[in-house]
Structure 1
Amino acid sequence: MAGDDPPPLAPASTPLQRAAALSGRYPPVPDVCVVTGGTGFVGTRLVEMLVERGATRVVSFDVVPPPDDAWRHPNIEWRVGDITDPSAVDDLLSIAGIKCVWHNAAAVGPFHPKSLYAMVNHQGTINVIESARRHGIKKLVFSSSPSTRFTGEDVDGLTEDEMPKLPLGKYMQAYAETKAMAEMEVSGACDGDFMTVSVAPHQVYGPRDNLFLPNLLEAAKSGKLRVFGDGENRICFTHVDNYCHGLIIAERALYPESPALGRFYIVTDGKTHPNGEQYLIFWRELDVAVRAMGFVSLWDKVRLPRGLLMCLASICEVLGRILGITMKLNKFNVTVLTMHRWFDIKAAEEDLGFKPIIGYREGWDETIEWFRSNWLPKQRTNSGGILGIATATQEKIDIQDMSAKKVR
């Protein structure tokens, strides 16, 4: 951008996202950037924000084409390819002038075929690291997950250093295990010639979310969603723009002798959560979204005891294996929907200079309005339920699985 010209703004961004983009001068970003997983919920917004902050070429790399509302900006290249294919990754990272790779591509959540997690999350990360080093790229920012440290015990306001260290003896799901394996590869590769950092959000939300809210709202629409446990568990949320901001400024923390080198950080909406705390009450905030869609309040229904849910989840997991179908109710989901899981983000504040650029209250309210205006009118009368997953989620799972099988 020249002089004081206003930055370009992504056409699909919301008023809050536009206001944040225009709110002040952000640190410069590299001219040439690569974002793997660039058509996902986070990846798409990361691509947009890099361009908004001055990148002259951003290459998105993902197994699926860009969405219909993708920004067709001359500084963005939407490239289709598979992270599990070493030759495709090598071709991507042979682009001249790449200063940083933001590695977001992943098989996300508990719903993929088990073999896919290792192929995409672990081997895909190895492919990126090896190719980046081969082509002399100096910086890698890895999108990790707090679930890599989850043991099933409450995480009630812990810092990263207070959480269990990797590797864990046992992981709660294949996603967490393979993301942990990938993160250890990233940290282990960090040296004077190749600088890395891992950044994770917790419970990303925002306009265009295609995983978190759609799955819960589809279950609420069907009438099958109930409050799990006592409904008072504390968790933290992360607006998609806050997470992308954390990923972007993490690149600036990659310099010799930086305290961030090879480390893991969590970023969230921080103290913009209700009452200046770093958490919210999950089921009560979710119910705000449920009622805004015109659905029956979750608190007007019978709550489901955690013990009963764990028994039902065990049965669902057995049935799922027998029938070869994906069920939303499983022991991992019951655990995370009833446990405390929120974090003290002071390390990211100190080492990365992170501060939320969109506050929780206004971010959550705008997200709910976006879903009411854009998601709700498209819902079929028989969609959703506690045993199924959102249609858009399943479609990407199928594409990823098919592509990885071709590579194998």
Structure 2
Amino acid sequence: MTANDNASPPIAPASSHLQRKTALEGQYPPVPSICVVTGGTGFVGNRLVEMLVERGAQKVISFDVVPPPADAWDHPNIEWRVGDITDKAAVDELLSVPGIGCVWHNAAAVGPFHPKPLYYKVNYEGTLNIIESAKKHGINKIVFSSSPSTRFTGEDVDGLREDEMPKLPLKRYMQTYAETKAMADMEISKVCTDEFMTVSVAPHQVYGPRDNLFLPNLLEAAMSGALRIFGNGYNRICFTHVDNYCHGLIIAERALYPDSPALGKFYIVTDGHTHPNGEQYLIFWKILDEAVIAMGFTSLWSKMKLPTLLLMFLAIICDFIGKLLGITVKLNKFNVTVLTMHRWFDIQNAEKDLGFQPIIGFREGWDETKEWFKENWLPKQARSANVIGIASSTQQKIDIQDMSSKKVR
């Protein structure tokens, strides 16, 4: 369904003004009639479900261990199904629905804060369950939501293409999340044939309205006064608006056909050349400070910067204390590394093989995101924010995933 159809496409009620405008004015290729999205209640998954319906899907099944959010779209074409991808029987029942055109596999234990066993169970074993069941039921397309961190070694990634990054498997991974996503990525690539077609698509630093991970955690730290610029503050990175990532995931399905150059490949999609000055990157701490100031907090650049070596020393101590006390601490070696290194990508491969172009420009997307957080996130915050731990919205999902995985035998 496109904006040229006689009837206007349905638009998710929770969409921002910019998201509504982009959905109504864009012309997009058709999507499968019946779609499955694992992890469909998360920040990305929820928006993916919405965009599939907006683009004409007749049935989208969201499958997630977490119930749909309060503002979930109550649309007849959406089935919000609660289930765990680590439960083989539940996955098998999910994918037994006749006529599924594609599975978008987004479900994952995300970030550096989960219990280690959960990463292996969800990210790796859960992916194996999806692959096995899809094959069993004759579903021949899987689009896998991957992560650039699967290729991170701790060295700067300064404008590389995917084929210029280290090849999997790495000798050492920076965190368990990256390792288990890499394990899943390799399985997705290994099973790809002209009859069972797969592709992996990753964003970098997803942002947008309704973000419940990236900005909430950093803004909570800024609100408490604890956040400082790490290093010299001029590290280059790239951002990806949630709608740009979902668009990349959706059009990746169209690139799954026999002899396609995309088969079994790994791609990164970002806001591309819509970043400041037409470059494919931005200065992380400068852009983050825009959000900090927009919330009415003190500019990070007016405070003392924290040297990288000092931060790494403190992170090692915090890692030890966290393990000793069984608590989650925001300051850890991984976070220090990624918040001081260059990490941005040249997306020409996704442009060439997937036909990807951002549908929302960085500046308009970032400005609206700041405004959304000021109107929707800020009024709900208390000045006694959690300085040591992570944002409550993040912790709640971690607890639900951990509890569910322990029930599955």
TM-score (normalised: structure 2): 0.99
Partner of 2:312: 310
Partner of 2:269: 267
Quick one: distance in 2 between partners of 1:341 and 1:134? 39
Partner of 1:394: 395
Q: CA deviation at 1:302?
A: 0.5
Contact 1:235 1:342 in 2 (8 A): yes
Contact 2:28 2:55 in 1 (8 A): yes
Partner of 1:210: 212
Partner of 1:95: 97
Partner of 2:363: 361
Quick one: distance in 2 between partners of 1:25 and 1:301? 46
SS state at 2:292 partner: helix
Quick one: distance in 2 between partners of 1:391 and 1:364? 23
Deviates more, 1:215-224 or 1:2-11: 2-11
Q: CA deviation at 1:4?
A: 2.3
Gapped runs of 5+ residues in structure 2? none
Contact 1:215 1:384 in 2 (8 A): no
Q: CA deviation at 1:192?
A: 2.1
Quick one: distance in 1 between partners of 2:212 and 2:285? 20
SS state at 2:56 partner: coil
* Match status 1:255 vs 2:257: yes
Quick one: distance in 1 between partners of 2:79 and 2:92? 16
Quick one: distance in 2 between partners of 1:180 and 1:205? 23
Q: CA deviation at 1:337?
A: 0.1
Question: 34, 37, 48: which is aligned to 2:36?
Answer: 34
TM-score (normalised: structure 1): 0.99
Structure 2 counterpart of 1:294, which letter?
G
Contact 1:221 1:384 in 2 (8 A): no
Partner of 1:404: 405
* Match status 1:370 vs 2:359: no
Structure 1 counterpart of 2:391, which letter?
A
CA-to-aligned-CA distance 1:174-227 (integer Å, 9 cap, x gap): 000000000001001101221000000000000000000000000000000000
Identity percentage of aligned residues? 77
Partner of 1:139: 141
Moved over 2 A (4+): 1-4
Structure 2 counterpart of 1:255, which letter?
Y
Structure 2 counterpart of 1:407, which letter?
V
SS state at 2:297 partner: coil
Q: CA deviation at 1:97?
A: 0.6
Quick one: distance in 2 between partners of 1:192 and 1:334? 42
Q: 1:94-113 residue pairs with structure 2 within 5 A?
A: 94-113=96-115
CA-to-aligned-CA distance 1:216-240 (integer Å, 9 cap, x gap): 0000000000000000000000000
Contact 2:195 2:258 in 1 (8 A): no
Deviates more, 1:367-376 or 1:187-196: 187-196
Contact 1:62 1:105 in 2 (8 A): yes
Quick one: distance in 2 between partners of 1:281 and 1:367? 17
Q: 1:3-402 residue pairs with structure 2 within 5 A?
A: 3-385=5-387, 387-402=388-403
Q: CA deviation at 1:388?
A: 1.2
What CA RMSD, in Å, does the superposition of the two structures yield over aligned residues?
0.7
Quick one: distance in 2 between partners of 1:247 and 1:382? 38
Structure 1 counterpart of 2:25, which letter?
S
Quick one: distance in 2 between partners of 1:23 and 1:182? 36
Contact 1:63 1:399 in 2 (8 A): yes
Structure 2 counterpart of 1:234, which letter?
R
Q: CA deviation at 1:322?
A: 0.4
Deviates more, 1:10-19 or 1:376-385: 376-385
CA-to-aligned-CA distance 1:86-130 (integer Å, 9 cap, x gap): 000000000011010000000000000000000000000000000
Structure 2 counterpart of 1:400, which letter?
Q
Structure 1 counterpart of 2:169, which letter?
P
Q: CA deviation at 1:25?
A: 1.7
SS state at 1:34 partner: strand
